[in-house]
Chains A and B, each alone.
Chain A
Amino acid sequence: MACNSGNCQSGCYKDSSIETQESEKNKAQNDVVKDRRSTEHLDDSTCLKCKVNRTIAAVNGVGGDFNGGDNGRFCADCFRSNLFGKFRLAVTANAMISPLDNVLVAFSGGTCSRVALQFIHEMQSRAQKNYDASRDRALPVFGVGVAFIDETAISAVSSDDLHRAIEQMKLIVSDLAPPVKQFHVVPTEAIYSLKAGDGKDRLNELINAVSDVTGKEDLLEHFRMLSLQKIAIENGYTKVLLGTCTSRIACHVLEATVKGRGYSLAADIQYVDARWKIPVVLPLRDCPIHELNMLCSLDSLMTVEVFNGTRAGINGLISSFVKLLQEENPSRESTIMRTAGKLTPFHFNRMPEDNDYNGEVASRRRQKKYNLKTKDALPPESFCPICNSPLKISTFETSINFDNGKTSSNAIGAACCASCQFQVLPKDPSSLEHFISLLPPSMVSQAEDGDRLSQKQLREQIEDCLLSDNEDGT
């Protein structure tokens, strides 16, 4: 009912003396308030978490809602601990790293990979301190290595600039010790496992054969992953850590959507991607770029810009679009990622089961969340030889090669996803064979393995209908 001052017992209408008594009573009840400024003086410039220090936005003299909010909510310390907390939660909740692991951090010199490197170093340092302090030293400390992919073969960067950048990166990595981290600088053409000049020529010929600008960019991204996998395998790493952040994932969601890759999108954006020989982990998945930029600024983390980050074609259009959306609503990137996060992941989007207890617990938790069956219950996925994206059943069934001999170029082309067939493979069928011959051996062998697997599955399905050698009378 409407409130009348005389009859209301809700206390809406109070004179100032009663209000003062209540505020004093409030202060006395709350021990924490005694040690802090009274709630009367709380305003937008005080950290929400510690309620003591001034927010970053207040210190820097910008608006509270600058770039999406945390600057206006937290002080520098709480901001840092919040961001690190997200990283650590991602690592522990998904059993990304076990004590026996050797983790390879992909380092481009940019903000995201710099922060990823910093955080993994902090985790490693803490683990090392615990190890040194413990009596039995039962739990070893995971190892960390850093890899930079040198793309000068396909990008217009002078050797002086590259050399300078690499020296800066070496300095960054060497400063992050102890524990000491090995730094690998590997050119893209190393995926061919040929002599340096031959690999470079073949790579250039292949890239020039791709007419679509977006296709070129995507192919280079696939090569980056192949390079990382190669470094990890050859140097005994067990995990590859990428600095992919929320903003990058938001762009990837839209890129995959407009390229017709809706089926495989869920595979690319999870915390763990174990379809590769060396599983790939994304612990910065929940961190938007502006928070990472802020951290680099607060902690003066050195970043190195080597290759021009401007994206071309459809990828560039989408970057601009997402930037526009973000300006209109600072939480748009998070919403996009959250939407895509509701897609059902694949069975390889969890850490492969091992004897590690933590891995099992995290694995069971995610299985339950997504109603994932165990690996054995599901048929193995078929993958595109170029981008390694999982193919929908209807796609790979029609691409099975029925020739008994070596997998033909046509078969490899047919085994690719629709997006790669359009934007990477040549339009002219007569050029296909030459194009396939230029692909790195790992891509071709994957196509052949996939073909053999498809034939094996098909054979298993029709096993009962096949005549055995004894029955046909010959």
Chain B
Amino acid sequence: MSELNRRHNYGLDLFLLSVDEGITGYRDDSLETVKRNEIQYGLPLKVVSYSKLYGWTMDEIVKLIGLKSSCTFCGVFRRQALDRGAALLKVDKLITGHNADDIAETVLLNILRGDIARLSRCTSIITGEDGPIPRCKPFKYTYEKEIVMYAYFKKLDYFSTECIYSPNAYRGFAREFIQDLERMRPRAILDIIKSGEDFRISTSTKMPKQGTCERCGYISSQKWCKACVLLEGLNRGLPKLGIGRSRGGSIANVTRIWNKRMEHRVYKASSVEVWTSEFSCSCINHCMQLNEGLLSDDRCNRWFGTAKRRALIRSSTLINHLCSLLYL
């Protein structure tokens, strides 16, 4: 961008925006490179960190939740961090380095996950045009290999180590597949992008209605933005809050934490020890409604019968603690 700006006199004011997720051995090293780029290109640099924005680093989050859903947290937090950083810099456009491989992976992931709404948007080269700061992806049609080759032969100062948590990401499936595919047919990456652009997706497909988060004011289609929901879960010691499918208000979200895989765990939340045993989340949901007097005893009986009733009784100790957590 700075070369094009110089060569063709675009007249653009360029800034560097970096996000510090707090990943030791990865982000701390790459930020050193970014600081050198700041001097090399003479561009002002702004670093926004998760610890300042959210009070959590990725290392702390991974320590709490494990490796499986770490990319969900990082991705959601990074998106908001970029928008906040861009707003602080008062810029008109945000440019990201997403390349053809990234977009092809995203197309595949959205197919695998059934996200038709994202599938319709993910190949757009400019997104968020109706928002305050649109985003552009000028490398949309550029292969990662080409970018690496350019950087290597031009002896650019760059950092090329993968995130230490990425091996556990679901995106890894798509990435490995695309690498195999590229070996067989290099043009397949562009073909995937082309397919993504050409998919016949109805314009009347239900798209989320854009509003603002009640808690932080960020754009959100729900009452709370995803970052706030995830943060709430982290702060309450309920890290699965907002992970996976969750609809409805906080009660439904809390109950969905303990899913039908029947986990035995000990949580420490607000210095209260909660011991969980076997039960189904629908049980808990109804039990909580029982507690609130929203569900009659008789109805619960009819729905669950004796076997589940035992589960309700066993887990009532848990319900006490859950209620105290929610209403503290």
Contact = CB atoms under 8 A, between A and B. Distances in A.
B89 interface: no
A397 to B, nearest CB: 15
28 contacts: A1-B292, A2-B320, A3-B291, A8-B291, A11-B300, A13-B316, A26-B306, A39-B307, A257-B107, A257-B111, A259-B195, A262-B195, A263-B200, A265-B199, A313-B184, A317-B177, A324-B173, A325-B112, A325-B173, A336-B112, A340-B111, A342-B116, A343-B199, A343-B200, A344-B202, A371-B204, A392-B198, A422-B187
Contacts of B293: 9-10
A262 B198 contact: yes
Contacts of B306: 19, 22-23, 26, 39-40
Given A2-B320, A19-B309, A22-B301, A336 B185 contact: no
A13 B290 CA distance: 11
B319 interface: yes
B316 A1 contact: no
Question: What size tier do the contact residues of chain B reach?
Answer: 35 or more
A258 interface: yes
A254 interface: yes
Nearest to B205: A342
A26 B301 contact: yes
Interface string A302-345: 00000000000110010001001100100010011011101111
Nearest to B107: A257
A265 B200 CA distance: 9
Nearest to B326: A2
A343 B173 CA distance: 24
B153 interface: no
Contacts of A317: 177, 180-181, 184
Given A10-B290, A42-B307, A314-B185, A370 B202 contact: yes
Given A257-B195, A339-B114, 14 more contacts: A11-B300, A26-B306, A39-B307, A257-B111, A259-B188, A260-B195, A263-B200, A266-B199, A266-B200, A328-B173, A335-B112, A336-B114, A339-B113, A419-B191
Given A314-B184, A344-B202, A12 B287 contact: yes
A39 B313 contact: no
A286 to B, nearest CB: 15
A371 B202 contact: yes
A362 B191 CA distance: 35
Contact of A261 (B113, B116, B195, B324): B195
Interface string B194-215: 1111111110110000000000
Given A257-B192, A317-B181, A343-B199, A10 B297 contact: yes
A153 B81 CA distance: 62
Contacts of B319: 3, 12
Interface in A431-474: none
Contacts of B297: 10-11
A2 B202 contact: no
B216 interface: no
Contacts of B290: 10-12
B302 interface: yes
Interface residues of A, number: 55
A343 B201 contact: yes
B119 interface: yes
Contacts of B302: 26, 29
Interface of B: 107-108, 110-116, 119, 173, 177, 180-181, 184-185, 187-188, 190-192, 194-202, 204-205, 287, 290-293, 295, 297, 300-302, 305-307, 309-310, 312-313, 316, 319-320, 323-324, 327
B293 to A, nearest CB: 7
A339 B111 contact: yes
Contact of B201 (A13, A261, A342, A392): A342
Contacts of A339: 110-116, 119
A390 B261 CA distance: 45
A343 B195 CA distance: 12
Interface string A236-280: 000000000000000001101111111101100000000000000
Nearest to A321: B177
A14 interface: yes
B327 A314 contact: no
A321 B323 CA distance: 45
Contacts of B119: 339
A258 B195 contact: yes
B309 to A, nearest CB: 7
Nearest to A344: B200
Interface string A5-48: 00011111110000100110110010000000001101000000
A259 B300 CA distance: 53
A260 B301 contact: no
Contacts of B316: 3, 12-13
A340 B113 CA distance: 11
B323 A2 contact: yes
Contacts of B198: 260, 262-263, 392
